[in-house]
Structure 1
Amino acid sequence: MSTTTAALPRLAFHGTGYLGATYAICFAELGYEVIGYDVDINRIAKLSAGEVPFHEPGLEEVLKRSLAGGRLRFSTNLAEVAAFGDVHFICVGTPQLAGGMGADLSYVEDAVTGLAQHLTRKALIVGKSTVPVGTAEWVERLVDKYAPADLGVEVAWSPEFLQEGFALQDVLRPSRIVVGVRSEWARELLDAAHKGVCDLAAAEGRDVPVVVTDFATAELVKVAANAFLATKISFINAMAEVCEVAGADVTQLARAIGHDPRIGNRFLKAGVGFGGGCLPKDIRAFQARAQELGAGEALRFLHEVDLINQRRRTRVVQLAAELLDRRYGPAGPDLSGVRIAVLGATFKPDSDDVRDAPSLAVAAMLAKAGADVHVYDPQGMANARRAQPHLRYAPTMAEAVRDTSLVCVLTEWADFRDADPNALGELVAERRVIDGRNCLDPVRWVRAGWRYRGLGRP
């Protein structure tokens, strides 16, 4: 997977969290000269030593290979990074505003103004962070204000579409490339910046669709895609609510409607809902921005999407009370004296990300109801401890379920999907299980003597 570097621009990635580090590592793998910049000294030290500071399958191996090949390095020196890069990708976080629904753009502002003041030649600043529509024009104004006027620095926008657990594939073999540009110079430079991706696709007999558009459309692509995905997930979870009262099975319903080519079967798996650092805050920021633009009515449905998603967490607690024969009153159930295992702390498998994780939120709700909750996750334990330090954490799945009266499977790790219900049954005090992701084989678990409940299943 090599490309001649003679005509390729040098790339700088500002922010080396999940987004920036993954792109920097992968583009170095494609043959580009790459530098990653961050103000976090410890993170830069780890990356420079060949350690990925988050869990992403296969990424650390590629990092070490690119470092050894001399194509990749990391720095906390902004002047060095400004001098190095022809294309500067802004990859910093845009978290939800404290006390509001909108996006906090302070990290974007800091990254752009800091870089602009250090530039000494013409360069292209490209936003990759997920932002409200209108941000690119605001970034242009920041550049005009802080960069030397005679340099002619330009701005473009090219959203990212990473899925945690599949990030290598998403960068090296993307489903599409979207670029918002204002000039032919910016377009040509971004063509060169993505040449390695397109060359790899050609070598493998694939095509990568490239959408060249305006700033506003490029900014909307990511949030619109996330809003559609969140809506699809919440739709099947709404159907799960109906199935439970009607006596239907949402897994069979999803399979049946998924055969319709207009709908498709991806992301039609009912469960405890979506989480992570993107979907929840992105759909809220989208609503907030639409309201500011006078189009709030158009996205009112996203409020219900959010509510459905939050209800799934409460439903697990309700099911726990039902299975444990505990009364569920106006203030919730009293689960005092009950030992419960929660299997899963991350918002999805193959990740260590616990941001807005439904699994960890449910664990906290069960503990608040008085339960003695023991959590286990294959990768997310350290982050979970920081997020919910009052919970108990078990070193293994076996230790988590030992002497429990209820097991809740809330993240669909393969370790949990493939677990032997007979072997686990020998460890628990009582064989009760809530399948919060509909990832277990109910027949197998029932045959092993478990009382099984899946979300949206009779």
Structure 2
Amino acid sequence: MRLTVIGTGYVGAVHAACMADIGHQVLGVDIDPARIAALTAGRTPFFERGLAGMIKRTVDTGRLRFTTSTAEAARFATTHFVCVGTPPQPGSDAADLRYVEAAVAGLAAHLPGGGDEAVIVVGKSTVPVGTAQRLAGRLGTAADVAWNPEFLREGCAVQDTMRPERIVAGVPTERAEARLREVYAPLTAVGAPFIVTDPATAELVKLASNSFLATKVSFINAMAEICDATGADVLTLAEAMGADPRIGPGSLAPGLGFGGSCLPKDIRAFAARAEELGLGESVAFLRQVDEINTRQRRRTVELAERLVGGSFAGRRVAVLGAAFKPGSDDVRDSPALAVAEAVRVRGAQVRVHDPEAADHARAVHPLLQFAPDVTKTCDRADVVLHLTEWPQYRELDPAALACVVRTPAIVDARHTLDPKAWRAAGWRLCAPGRPRLD
């Protein structure tokens, strides 16, 4: 089957490569010639596990090609996936749909009139509910507009596409449903659930899912604050809560909170859209979810400041992690970098390490220092902040690292270090929501 993928950023590049890998002929489209040249050469513009090899493999087989020409895309296929970004509008939390609208308008200018096969435009971008209906009104009879939201976790995007927990098809017509069933037949054949609904519900599924996940994360972090005040243990609390099948353990991981390009942006855009609909009170709790999440960064800074005697002035602070999550080089709205920058502003000399995201982090925060390995990062540090839960940080030898730092004190803001091992090596270890371990 022949498909186009318009937009070759994070979602588009993954979708294009995976669709080619399951056997389709795919043409990726982007307005950035440098990106198209890199992808054609088999290089990815960002780090995502397994993606570079898949792109190179499918490009080599000829099933995946890239172009800057929307006209070529319109000639190539009758099924077009729109995967462009929807950042916040300048000065607003509402989603900026200019890239979605430009992609659809550019495609519409080249769509053939009539033809033997119906044209289907399939949105994968995260958009406010009602977007598909508005785009369908603009396209008229030139194409059906369906919505097929993505549910990708950065660092696991290839796996999430190839073994999806669900495929949601928001379709306006039976022929659009049939087309999407054909696209995803190789995945549904091995058990992927295929949920059919209308486009508005499909748009809402992504926003509602992200909002619910964000609520769980902020809820357990709010409980961590209660634990700090009472001496209770938030990890045991989360384990006991998660044992209830009505609640489940997923996203009940306390710590520094969520970041990245999806959850913060999406819950704010969802709240903004609800306000446009006159239903702001219905999702007013999302503003509090957002505030709780932001507060975790301030609390981590304050905890670290107490460990160095109440002031960062003249102190050396080592930061382990810059990406917003492990398995990614994405630093957009990274809690780790927000904490590192706040510590620097308070007078500390901050040195950061990240196995993948250092270059991106340096471009965003040029006043922070970066080191190529953990030992150099922690050299003569007064406190170490563990802020992104990369697996290699869990494997550090606390006894060896104690010989490098000036003061063996660490804030485990991600709750993944073994407190007994670190205490045994002489470290003073603190973690939000847990009894003091020193």
Shared fold, TM over 0.5: yes
Alignment check: 8 A CA contact 1:16 1:37 kept: yes
**1:181 is matched with which residue: 162, 171, 186?**
171
**1:114 is matched with which residue: 103, 106, 110?**
106
Alignment check: 8 A CA contact 1:317 1:365 kept: yes
Letter in 2 for 1:337: G
Residue 342 (structure 1) aligns with: 319
How many angstroms apart in 1 are the aligned matches of 2:224 and 2:208? 24
1:196 CA drift (Å):
2.0
**1:123 is matched with which residue: 112, 119, 125?**
119
Question: Which secondary structure does the structure 1 equivalent of 2:109 belong to?
Answer: helix
Question: Which secondary structure does the structure 2 equivalent of 1:53 belong to?
Answer: coil
Alignment check: 8 A CA contact 2:188 2:194 kept: no
How many angstroms apart in 2 are the aligned matches of 1:139 and 1:399? 53
Residue 308 (structure 2) aligns with: 324
1:128 CA drift (Å):
0.3
Residue 424 (structure 2) aligns with: 447
Letter in 2 for 1:130: T
Letter in 2 for 1:154: D
1:390 CA drift (Å):
1.4
Deviations 1:75-134 (A, max 9, x none): 111111111122100000001122111101111011110111011254111100000001
2:205 corresponds to 1:228: no
How many angstroms apart in 2 are the aligned matches of 1:220 and 1:153? 22
2:260 corresponds to 1:276: yes
How many angstroms apart in 1 are the aligned matches of 2:73 and 2:345? 48
Residue 331 (structure 1) aligns with: none
Letter in 2 for 1:165: G
1:45 CA drift (Å):
0.8
Residue 301 (structure 1) aligns with: 285
1:323 CA drift (Å):
0.6
Residue 73 (structure 2) aligns with: 81
Letter in 1 for 2:134: W
**1:191 is matched with which residue: 181, 185, 209?**
181
Letter in 1 for 2:378: V
Alignment check: 8 A CA contact 1:156 1:179 kept: yes
Question: Which secondary structure does the structure 2 equivalent of 1:118 belong to?
Answer: coil
Residue 258 (structure 1) aligns with: 242
Residue 330 (structure 1) aligns with: none
Residue 372 (structure 1) aligns with: 349
TM-score scaled by structure 1? 0.93
Residue 40 (structure 2) aligns with: 48
How many angstroms apart in 2 are the aligned matches of 1:380 and 1:167? 17
Question: Which secondary structure does the structure 2 equivalent of 1:79 belong to?
Answer: helix
2:19 corresponds to 1:27: yes
How many angstroms apart in 2 are the aligned matches of 1:153 and 1:375? 50
Residue 433 (structure 1) aligns with: 410
Give the gaps of 5 or more residues in structure 2: none
Residue 9 (structure 2) aligns with: 17
What RMSD in Å do the two structures reach over aligned CA positions?
1.0
Identity, in percent, stands at 52
Deviations 1:287-342 (A, max 9, x none): 0000111111110110110000000000011101111111xxxxxxx411001011
**2:85 is matched with which residue: 89, 93, 98?**
93
Alignment check: 8 A CA contact 1:339 1:372 kept: yes
Letter in 2 for 1:409: H
1:142 CA drift (Å):
2.7
TM-score scaled by structure 2? 0.97
1:263 CA drift (Å):
1.0
Letter in 2 for 1:138: R
Alignment check: 8 A CA contact 2:378 2:405 kept: yes
How many angstroms apart in 1 are the aligned matches of 2:406 and 2:135? 59
Residue 329 (structure 1) aligns with: none
**2:230 is matched with which residue: 236, 246, 254?**
246
How many angstroms apart in 1 are the aligned matches of 2:154 and 2:336? 16
How many angstroms apart in 2 are the aligned matches of 1:38 and 1:385? 26
